[in-house]
């Protein structure tokens, strides 16, 4: 479905000089325009904005130096007039600004900076949370004193393997999964109290696999999006076809107290729109779990998992009414194993999920063309750009970050 829509937009681009004129070949709906804000920033992740100041979290690879948080002060043309680095914040993902403070996740926790008029905070950060499992930590604040932190479950064909399973046998999962005691979920903490550990938090929700996208929708609830299972058909080819594997969706959930999103015991088939028992827990690619307490996603992205990496709700008024309070999601792009797929992998775009009151609508492509001019360009090794972060600016424009060249765009409407 999404690939068909992408092809249609490419055809529209060829017929419309206004759309074709977008920088870097980006494809946007009529009336929208993109400009390059910055480039060459390195391994960027999520973003937060305050006035004309843009803060960008980063992660570094093996044998690469940490660059900390990148702080950019933007001029009237939305280009940097000052660039600084806030050191010591390593392997970050989540970053938020709330009530004059900058919250940023690290590999093992969350820190808080008091922001003054200067671009770089002058005071040392407070460690709000520490000692978490070293993984991605998206964060969200509800404005009522709560700080939500996601902790990944893990990756692979079987994420909670029974160590007693013979090495030459198919993976078998443990139930209950002991990993869920300290990861694979969302924890709620006090947003101002320093020195908190995992035990100080409220185990708010469980059953997530690999979540980097988390945001609070004002007047509603917490929402998160995460990656579906990989390698399932390769491990159990007698049970699942390649098409069955493609149907395993990336999922977006409305998360309330006690929500169980089903990992590692189940997965969501985005084509059949049904929850199925995972093969390492006795599933056969057709059978639903006997338990009825697993939550269904409010939106699912399939076939072909797009690798969702960020989520933000549109809180501005610059965009047309249909976008207000809806969700923008950064899709990093599938094919992380390097497999070249004719016609391209899923993702490499910005998706939009409209909301009517508190009900999610049908996902649609908002911005495309990041990988290249055709769907075939959507391959990990050749993609020109791979979206990783989205953030709404105070003026209502949408900022998009990507990882290949460390580039950031500003998308505006009617300017």
Q: Where are the domains of the chain?
A: 2-413
User: What is the total residue count of the chain?
Assistant: 415
Residue 401 to residue 45: CA distance in whole angstroms: 7
SS3 370: coil
Residue 48 to residue 27: CA distance in whole angstroms: 24
Mean pLDDT of the chain: 92
Residue 196 tokens read as 């908190």
Q: What is the pLDDT of residue 64?
A: 65
Enter the DSSP assignment of 296: P
Enter the DSSP assignment of 368: B
User: Which is it for the CA torsion 244, 246, 252, 256, positive or negative?
Assistant: positive
What DSSP string runs through 236-253? -TTT--HHHHHHBPEEEE
Containing 13, the helix (H) or strand (E) segment is: helix 2-15
Judge whether 362 and 356 are in contact, CB under 8 Å: no
Q: pLDDT, tens digit, for every residue of 174-233?
A: 999 999 999 999 999 999 999 999 999 999 999 999 999 999 999 999 999 999 998 899
Residue 57 tokens read as 């979290």
Residue 101 to residue 81: CA distance in whole angstroms: 22
pLDDT mean over 255-273? 97
Closest to 91 (Cα-Cα) out of 63, 117, 70, 68:
68
User: Which is it for the CA torsion 285, 286, 289, 292, positive or negative?
Assistant: positive
Residue with tokens 């060459």: 40
Least confident of 16-30, 70-84, 126-140: 16-30
Considering the domain delimited by 2-413, tell me its CATH architecture: 6 Propeller (2.120)
Q: What is the pLDDT of residue 156?
A: 58
Q: pLDDT, tens digit, for every residue of 311-360?
A: 999 999 999 999 999 999 999 999 888 889 999 999 999 999 999 989 99
Residue with tokens 């765009």: 409
Enter the DSSP assignment of 375: G
20 pLDDT exceeds 50? Answer: no
Specify burial of residue 321 (Cβ count, 10 A radius: 0-12, 13-18, 19+).
exposed
Is the pTM here over 0.85, yes or no?
yes
**Edge-to-edge strands of the sheet including 349-353?**
308-313, 327-331, 349-353, 364-367
Q: What is the pLDDT of residue 167?
A: 87
SS3 133: coil
Q: What is the pLDDT of residue 292?
A: 94
SS3 18: helix
């Amino acid at each position: 479905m999404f690939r068909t829509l992408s092809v249609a937009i490419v055809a529209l681009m060829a017929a419309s000089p206004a759309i074709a004129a977008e920088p870097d070949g980006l494809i946007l709906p009529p009336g929208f325009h993109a400009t390059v804000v910055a480039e060459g920033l390195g391994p960027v992740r999520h973003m937060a904005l305050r006035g004309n100041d843009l803060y960008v979290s980063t992660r570094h690879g093996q044998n690469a130096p940490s660059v900390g948080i990148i702080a950019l002060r933007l001029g009237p043309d939305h280009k940097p007039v000052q660039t600084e680095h806030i050191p010591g914040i390593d392997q970050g993902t989540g970053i938020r600004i709330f009530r004059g403070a900058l919250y940023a996740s690290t590999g093992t926790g969350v820190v808080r900076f008091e922001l003054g008029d200067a671009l770089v905070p002058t005071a040392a950060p407070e460690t709000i949370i520490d000692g978490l499992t070293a993984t991605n930590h998206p964060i969200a604040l509800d404005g009522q004193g709560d700080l939500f932190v996601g902790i990944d479950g893990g990756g692979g064909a079987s994420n909670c393997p029974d160590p007693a399973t013979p090495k030459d046998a198919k993976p078998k999962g443990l139930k209950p999964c002991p990993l869920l005691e300290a990861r694979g979920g969302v924890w709620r903490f006090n947003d101002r109290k320093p020195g908190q550990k995992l035990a100080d938090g409220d185990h708010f929700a469980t059953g997530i696999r690999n979540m980097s996208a988390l945001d609070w929708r004002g007047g509603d609830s917490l929402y998160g999006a995460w990656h579906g299972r990989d390698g399932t058909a390769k491990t159990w080819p007698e049970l699942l076809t390649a098409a069955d594997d493609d149907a395993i969706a990336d999922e977006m959930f409305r998360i309330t107290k006690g929500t169980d999103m089903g990992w590692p015991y189940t997965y969501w088939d985005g084509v059949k729109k049904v929850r199925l028992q995972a093969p390492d827990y006795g599933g056969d690619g057709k059978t639903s779990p006997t338990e009825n307490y697993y939550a269904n996603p409010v939106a699912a992205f399939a076939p072909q998992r797009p690798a969702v990496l960020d989520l933000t709700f549109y809180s501005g008024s610059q965009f047309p009414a249909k976008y207000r309070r809806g969700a923008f999601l950064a899709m990093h792009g599938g094919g992380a194993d390097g497999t070249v797929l004719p016609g391209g992998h899923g993702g490499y775009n910005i998706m939009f999920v409209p909301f009517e009151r508190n009900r999610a609508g049908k996902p649609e492509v908002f911005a495309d063309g990041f990988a290249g001019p055709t769907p075939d360009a959507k391959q990990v090794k050749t993609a020109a750009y791979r979206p990783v972060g989205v953030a709404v600016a105070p003026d209502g424009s949408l900022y998009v970050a990507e990882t290949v060249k460390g580039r950031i765009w500003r998308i505006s409407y009617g300017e």
